[in-house]
Amino acid sequence: MALTATEQKQIREALCAIAVRGARYPDEYETARKNLTAQFEMLKVAAAQPAEAKK
């Protein structure tokens, strides 16, 4: 399951906004990074399951 260009842009903009605020809220960037990483891992697992079922 690939992300659309619009979705990729939204993620980039959100991470950039967090990075800009990083000096004031140092933990926010790391928390967002961990959450996004976990969500992408879950998406990869979910996307791989139908492919494995077809084999």
Q: What is the residue type of 4?
A: T
pLDDT for 23: 63
pLDDT for 1: 55
Domain borders along the chain are 1-34
Residue 2 is given by DSSP the state P
Q: What is the DSSP string of 1-55?
A: -PPPHHHHHHHHHHHHHHHHGGGT-HHHHHHHHHHHHHHHHHHHHHHHHHHHHH-
Q: Which residues of the chain have pLDDT under 50?
A: none
pTM for this model (two decimals): 0.55
CA nearest neighbour of 17 among 27, 28, 4: 28
Asked if 29 and 19 count as a contact pair (C-beta separation under 8 A), the reply is yes
pLDDT for 8: 81
